[in-house]
């Protein structure tokens, strides 16, 4: 055996083994690369899911907390009507409501119209415009109540609940009208204020008639319909996520809105449904369905071609007042001389 060759060979083999170990340490194996890829994919997926859910949480929060302008006038300044500042409790005692009571002029009227404003507005609801209709009701010898729902209150705002809390607040206004001596109470509702009136009439016998302009009933179809106007989200799972988030953000589940009962109810009182075919917030087909369910001989509907959400009075003022007058006359809450006086004043 050659001693020289024997002394050289082991270090060479040792160096080769060291080189192999270094290669293994520097170059990750296929399994490690796969783990990194899976971790990166899951991180991106969870981030996208988080963003998707966060977007829905923001939508639910915005819907629950509408921006409402402050009051800018009052019945005396806007329409020359004497009024009283009033407060009254919601019927469940959950909060104190604020509003105006406009007594009928020169007479002890036993009939009152309660104006139920829509989502994102207060009692003035300028785009209707509410003061004009209050003045018209006043000329028909009605006392008028205008009030703010909790989400529109300037003193202590609360979340909008699609009618769950608002129903109790509206019935508080109806009860106040009764305490002031009203024997007949008409609720004149707009948008969500109309949907709230439909919910209130399910549980109260104190409402004698309703005029519902562009009634918005919070249910899955109308909720998704409104979301689609602003952002193209898939119906599923968006509705499921929102239904999960609403109880967390505003304490109300869609299941607590009795929309299914409203959609099937034949109300014993006369109802006048007014709706436009170009309503992008509350599809007019829902109003048609609700009207078709009614068997009261004085219930009726007016589906106005090419008219828009809550803008029907602005678009067809004379026809609007004429039809409302006829409705109130047919249910014997307005006399012919009052109707003529009201139409002259309204026109």
> Which two tokens mark 299?
């219930």
Average pLDDT over residues 174-190: 98
Residue 185's DSSP bridge partners are 112
CB atoms within 10 A of CB 228: 14
- Taking the CA of residue 115 as centre, how many other CA atoms within 13 Å lie in the half-sphere pointing to its CB? 28
Task: Show the tokens assigned to 122.
Answer: 């207060």
Cβ pair 163, 259 in contact under 8 A? no
Q: What is the pLDDT of residues 316-330, one digit of tens each?
A: 999 999 999 999 999
Q: What is the pLDDT of residues 98-117, one digit of tens each?
A: 999 999 987 889 999 999 99
pLDDT for the residue numbered 29: 77
Instruction: Please say if the pLDDT value at position 24 is more than 70.
Output: no
Greater confidence (138 vs 228) lies with 138
Q: Which two tokens stand for residue 207?
A: 């409402």
Mean pLDDT of 191-204: 98
Burial of 114 (0-12, 13-18, 19+ CB in 10 A): buried
Cross-strand partners of 300? 272
Greatest Cα pair distance in the chain: 136
* Gap between the Cα atoms of 52 and 105, Å rounded: 56
pLDDT at residue 325, as a whole number: 96
Query: Is residue 43 scored above 60 in pLDDT?
Result: yes
Q: Domain extents for the chain?
A: 33-64+223-251, 75-219+257-345
> What's the rounded mean pLDDT across residues 74-96?
97
**Cis-peptide, bond into residue 114, ω within 30° of zero:** no
Sequence-distant (6+) residues with CB within 8 A of 176 are 86, 88, 101, 145
The CATH number assigned to the domain with range 75-219+257-345 reads 3.40.50.1820
CA–CA distance, 202 with 74 (Å, rounded to integer): 32
334 falls in which pLDDT band (50, 70, 90)? confident
Task: Say which range, 15-19, 165-169, 177-181, has the weakest mean pLDDT.
Answer: 15-19
- Burial letters for 75-85: b for 16+ Cβ neighbours within 10 Å, e otherwise? beebbebebee
Three-state SS for 148?
Answer: coil
Rounded Cα distance, 200 and 179, in Å = 18
pLDDT at 106: 79
Whole-number mean pLDDT of the chain? 90
Kindly report the pTM of this predicted structure.
Answer: 0.87
**pLDDT value, residue 14:** 55
In the chain, beta strands by DSSP E: 84-89, 96-102, 111-116, 143-147, 184-190, 209-213, 271-276, 300-304
How many residues are recorded in the chain?
A: 347
Residue 20 pLDDT class (50, 70, 90 cuts): low
Q: 248 CB contacts (<8 Å, ≥6 apart)?
A: none
pLDDT in tens, 264-292: 999 999 999 999 999 999 999 999 999 99
The first and second tokens of residue 37, run together, are 């890829």
The helix/strand count (H/E) of the chain reads as: 13, 8
With 70 as the cut, is the pLDDT of residue 5 above it? no
């Amino acid at each position: 055996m050659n001693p020289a060759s024997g002394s050289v060979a082991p270090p060479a083999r040792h160096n080769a083994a060291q080189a192999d170990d270094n290669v293994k340490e520097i170059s990750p194996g296929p399994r490690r690369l796969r783990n990194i890829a899976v971790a990166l994919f899951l991180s991106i997926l969870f981030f996208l899911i988080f963003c998707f859910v966060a977007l829905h949480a923001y939508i639910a929060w915005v819907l629950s907390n509408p921006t409402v302008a402050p009051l800018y006038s009052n019945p005396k300044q806007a329409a020359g009507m004497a009024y009283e500042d009033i407060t009254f409790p919601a019927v469940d005692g959950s909060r104190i409501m604020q509003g105006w009571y406009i007594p009928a002029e020169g007479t002890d009227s036993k009939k009152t119209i309660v104006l139920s404003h829509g989502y994102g507005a207060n009692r003035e609801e300028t785009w209707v415009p509410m003061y004009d209709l209050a003045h018209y009701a006043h000329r028909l010898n009605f006392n008028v109540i205008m009030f703010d729902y909790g989400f529109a209150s300037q003193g202590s705002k609360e979340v909008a609940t699609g009618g769950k809390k608002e129903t109790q607040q509206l019935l508080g206004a109806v009860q106040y009208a009764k305490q002031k001596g009203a024997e007949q109470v008409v609720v004149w509702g707009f948008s969500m204020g109309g949907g709230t009136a439909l919910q209130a009439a399910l549980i109260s016998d104190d409402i004698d008639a309703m005029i519902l302009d562009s009634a918005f009933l919070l249910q899955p179809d109308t909720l998704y319909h409104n979301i689609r106007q602003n952002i193209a989200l898939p119906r599923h799972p968006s509705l499921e996520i929102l239904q999960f988030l609403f109880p967390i953000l505003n304490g109300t589940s869609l299941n607590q809105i009795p929309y299914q009962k409203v959609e099937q109810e034949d109300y014993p009182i006369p109802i006048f449904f007014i709706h436009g075919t170009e309503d992008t917030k509350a599809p007019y087909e829902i109003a048609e369905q609700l009207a078709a369910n009614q068997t009261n001989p004085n219930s009726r509907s007016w589906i106005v071609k090419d008219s828009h959400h809550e803008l029907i009075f602005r678009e067809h003022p004379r026809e609007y007042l004429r039809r409302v007058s006829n409705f109130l006359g047919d249910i014997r809450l307005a006399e012919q001389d009052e109707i003529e006086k009201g139409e002259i004043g309204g026109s």
